[in-house]
Amino acid sequence: MKVIGASLKSKNIGEHAYFERLKRYLQSAGIKRAVLVRITVPNALEHDSINKFNGESLDGIRIEHLDVDLSSFYEEKQSFLDRAMNSADLSVKVKLVEVIEESINSYLETFWEYPEKVNSDLTDSIFKAKHALISDLIYEYEKISWMGPNNAIIDRIKKYYPENDLAVLVDPERRYYIREKLGSTG
């Protein structure tokens, strides 16, 4: 099973051009069947750009959807954040996490001109370091907002797609974690 980061967010090229590059990337990797993991949260789909993969095929690649409702995790995260605002120490750490996230996302959206860059060791290393830092700063927050939701995604992938002859398309930030936990390639 290959786990591939799929994003249409790039500051350097438009969504259509990036989408075409992603199609070519999947085709060159020999992907014939892919599962798009779509995350739902209260009142919205997370990462709307990833949901532009519609239809049953993408130039010869059969795309299936696996919807994962993470509403309960997001409600628990919001509850934690509400409590954190009553603690000076925690509120400073939460603000630091927000600054880190904004900086990393801004850099990566500039770096991601090609799917190869989205799926690079550099992208994975940046996200892995980010989550290690957040875990050290506020472990409870990381457990609620990162580990729990990703483990729920992994459980659904294993339940509905136990076979290994497919690609799983996920948000790029989730890619390294899901790859490690599934022991996958790509």
d(CA 179, CA 177) in angstroms, rounded, equals 5
If you average pLDDT over every residue of the chain, what do you get?
A: 86
44-62: pLDDT as tens digits: 544 455 555 555 456 778 8
**How many structural domains is the chain composed of?**
1
Taking 60 as the threshold, does the pLDDT of residue 6 lie above it?
yes
- pTM for this prediction: 0.87
Taking 70 as the threshold, does the pLDDT of residue 183 lie above it?
yes
Enclosing domain of residue 38: 2-182
Interstrand relation of 33-41 and 61-69 (parallel, antiparallel or unpaired):
parallel
- Check residue 23 and give its pLDDT: 84
Burial 30-55 (b: 16+ CB within 10 A, else e): ebeebbbbbbebeeeeebebbeebee
- Check residue 156 and give its pLDDT: 94
Q: Is 47 left (phi over 0), alpha (psi -120 to 50) or beta?
A: left
